[in-house]
């Protein structure tokens, strides 16, 4: 696991600039640094040594003839098989790294090399002879890759903060990204919060040649349900494939550990990974926010040592600016901060940790996936439901009314992912500025179009796989782990696991309670939970039946306390708060929450995190560690 930066060379002091950019991402690779600079390009790399920890694995890495230059972030889990194939073709290797496999795979197969890879990756290869730059991002978007065209200069790298070190970079806020963020809680557009800086989307590659940038998709998810196998067969197949994936994800020349919560995903990973150490964090003593006791009992049952930490409120709030700096773009997911602390806990013990991200999107785990056809009301004619919904929209919003409003809309109109903070009307009223941000459904429409013939559960999964998972789940996984120089691996997000999940019928992903037995009182992630249950110690198997909680953080409680209420209120009333928002509306949201009139915690947090991020990147507030 590493980080890289680069730019097409148009400047005289390229050596110093690339050094400055590398230093900005030193946390991604404190073990070694290297650079390559010529008249055409500058490449920089920071290394966290995981496979072939000798100096032979340092980057940039070169082909034997010196023509190809590689910088790479990630892991290729099937590199030994690909290497053997390439050696049969006559390619000679100088190192034991997975990185070198990428160089000769490109030499042998060109862009088709991506079809052979199994792993998480972002990389660029500079072809000196053809003056061509080739870059790619992995299938799910586990590892980040950003790019920016500033005049005649192309900047690219693992983190945006490195771009700020280049003299050609123009720092300007993308206000359209802000407006969309207020709805999604994460940066949902291709263009980031920095104008003219873009994310290379998952499963895409680019070729930059003669100052022209070409971007193409090379892989996609294709749900094709196979009704022939019965539930028992699917459960056995999941167990087999996931066991194999976990073993592949353990390949390393250093120790590997595992995160552990009380949820089925991380428990399943920890139960079969056979690592020595698990890591858990929580808040206070309330079991609603603290899973440490459960995690210690589970770890004891599987014969492993659990390391835990109770996060104090002062610690959580004290690191917010530093965390938003590490994130590059604002993210309003409160779990990101908790993840930051568990990564810090694990990094004191080892360099690599396994985690359970991706299981919900792949196997159908979110509670919202059980919504389609969940009630008798869903069986009413579409026209009647729409009429009732339109009438309900004219009434004051509350729980019962909201039900009819939602049911009156088609899935494509009502579901944009797991978070829906401010409606388009609410965000327009809240913002003092005006932007050209499109309606949220414009961003989701092309994903829905690709699965127009699928059932509603599959449509929701497909959308979350492409937007929510990459924009929120994997963003925080990468940035929070790398902030502590920790490699985070996600065995659910594997090509072979996805290949299997694509074939599982929707009824075995999300099912109805009436078709389950008394020992399996759940309806989401149905087949996967059964697989986890058979692979989990008997005394802890009830984990498979637990309702999904996410990563519980007591934000709604803290915002009612004077200390934290005041912190947020001061930020809302800051110059930036007044510049972008109608401050009186922000204060009303905050007061109504404090007085118990409404739970506005997520909306408040969404705005607060943007203003915190903005203070760091545009107002130069210190983001130093609180301690």
Cα(590)–Cα(594) distance, rounded to whole angstroms? Answer: 6
By CB atoms closer than 10 A (0-12, 13-18, 19+), residue 115 is exposed
* Vertex 470: Cα angle to 160 and 547 (nearest 5): 135
Cα(265)–Cα(258) distance, rounded to whole angstroms? Answer: 11
**Dihedral sign for Cα atoms in the order 553, 557, 559, 561:** negative
Cα Rg of the chain, angstroms: 24
Contact of 268 with 235, CB cutoff 8 Å: no
Cα(394)–Cα(465) distance, rounded to whole angstroms? Answer: 34
Q: Which residue among 1, 2, 177, 532 is the active-site one? A: 2
Beta strands in 396-537 (DSSP E): 487-489
Q: Which residues of 8-18 are buried (b: 16+ CB within 10 A; e: fewer)?
A: bbbbeebeebb
CA atoms within 13 A of residue 99's CA, in its CB half-sphere: 32
Cα(162)–Cα(156) distance, rounded to whole angstroms? Answer: 9
From the list 590, 588, 586, the residue with the least C-alpha distance to 555 is: 590
Examine the residue annotation and report whether 2 is marked as an active-site residue of this protein.
yes
Q: For residue 252, what are the contacts with CB-CB under 8 A and spacing of at least 6?
A: 50, 51, 351, 352
Query: Residue 11, SS3?
Result: coil
Query: Residue 205, SS3?
Result: strand
Q: For residue 615, what are the contacts with CB-CB under 8 A and spacing of at least 6?
A: 321, 571, 574, 576, 621
Contact of 187 with 178, CB cutoff 8 Å: no
Cα(565)–Cα(140) distance, rounded to whole angstroms? Answer: 38
Q: Which residue bears the tokens 């989990």? A: 536
Beta strands in 22-109 (DSSP E): 32-37, 41-47, 61-62, 68-76
Is there a cis peptide before residue 60, judged by omega within 30 degrees of 0? yes
Cα(182)–Cα(430) distance, rounded to whole angstroms? Answer: 10
Which residues are designated catalytic? 2
């Amino acid at each position: 696991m590493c980080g890289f930066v680069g730019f097409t060379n148009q400047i005289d002091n390229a050596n110093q600039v690339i050094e400055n950019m590398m230093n900005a991402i030193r946390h991604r690779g404190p073990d070694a640094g290297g650079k390559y600079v010529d008249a055409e390009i500058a490449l920089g790399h920071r290394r966290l040594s995981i496979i072939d920890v000798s100096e032979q694995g340092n980057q940039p890495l070169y082909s034997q003839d010196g023509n190809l230059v590689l910088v790479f972030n990630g892991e290729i889990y099937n590199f030994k098989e690909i290497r053997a194939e390439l050696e049969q073709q006559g390619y000679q290797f100088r190192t034991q790294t997975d990185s070198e496999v990428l160089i000769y795979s490109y030499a042998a197969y060109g862009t088709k090399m991506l079809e052979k890879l199994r792993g998480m990756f972002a990389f660029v290869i500079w072809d000196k002879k053809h003056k061509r730059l080739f870059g790619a991002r992995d299938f799910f978007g586990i590892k980040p890759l950003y790019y920016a065209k500033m005049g005649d200069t192309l900047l690219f790298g693992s983190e945006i903060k490195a771009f700020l070190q280049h003299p050609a970079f123009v720092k300007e806020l993308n206000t359209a990204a802000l407006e969309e963020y207020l709805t999604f809680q994460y940066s949902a557009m291709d263009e980031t919060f920095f104008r003219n800086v873009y994310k290379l989307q998952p499963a895409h590659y680019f070729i930059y040649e003669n100052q022209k940038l070409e971007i193409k998709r090379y892989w996609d998810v294709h749900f094709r349900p196979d009704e022939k196998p019965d539930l028992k067969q699917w459960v056995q197949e999941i167990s087999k494939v996931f066991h194999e994936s976990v073993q592949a994800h353990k390949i390393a020349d250093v120790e590997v550990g595992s995160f552990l919560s009380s949820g089925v995903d991380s428990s399943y990973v920890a139960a079969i990974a056979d690592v020595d150490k698990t890591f858990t964090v929580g808040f206070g003593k309330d079991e609603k926010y603290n899973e440490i006791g459960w995690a210690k009992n589970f770890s004891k049952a599987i014969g492993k040592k659990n390391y835990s930490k109770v996060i104090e409120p002062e610690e959580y709030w004290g690191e917010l600016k530093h965390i938003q700096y590490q994130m590059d773009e604002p993210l309003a997911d409160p779990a990101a901060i908790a993840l930051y602390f568990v990564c810090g806990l694990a990094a004191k013990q080892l360099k690599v940790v396994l985690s359970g991200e991706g299981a919900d999107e792949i196997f159908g785990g979110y509670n919202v996936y059980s919504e389609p056809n969940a009630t008798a009301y869903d069986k009413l004619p579409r026209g009647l439901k729409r009429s009732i919904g339109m009438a309900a929209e004219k009434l004051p919003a509350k729980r019962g009314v909201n039900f009819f409003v939602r049911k009156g809309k088609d899935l494509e109109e009502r579901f944009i992912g797991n978070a829906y903070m401010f409606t388009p009307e609410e965000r327009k009223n809240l913002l003092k500025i005006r932007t050209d941000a499109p309606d949220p459904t414009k961003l989701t429409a092309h994903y829905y179009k690709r699965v127009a013939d699928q059932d509603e559960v599959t449509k929701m999964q497909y959308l979350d796989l492409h937007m929510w998972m990459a924009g929120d789940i994997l963003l925080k996984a990468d940035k929070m782990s790398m902030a502590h120089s920790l490699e985070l691996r996600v065995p659910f997000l594997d090509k072979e696991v996805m290949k299997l999940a694509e074939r599982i019928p929707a009824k075995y992903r999300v099912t109805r309670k009436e078709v389950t037995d008394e020992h399996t009182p759940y309806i989401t992630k149905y087949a996967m939970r059964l697989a986890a249950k058979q692979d989990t110690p008997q005394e802890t198997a009830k984990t498979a039946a637990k309702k999904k909680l996410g990563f519980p953080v007591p934000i709604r409680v803290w915002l009612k306390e004077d200390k934290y209420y005041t912190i947020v209120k001061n930020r809302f009333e800051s110059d930036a708060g007044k510049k972008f928002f109608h401050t009186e509306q922000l204060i009303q949201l905050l007061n109504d929450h404090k007085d118990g009139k409404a739970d506005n915690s997520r909306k408040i947090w969404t705005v607060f995190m943007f203003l915190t991020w903005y203070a760091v990147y545009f107002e130069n507030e210190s983001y130093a560690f609180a301690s």
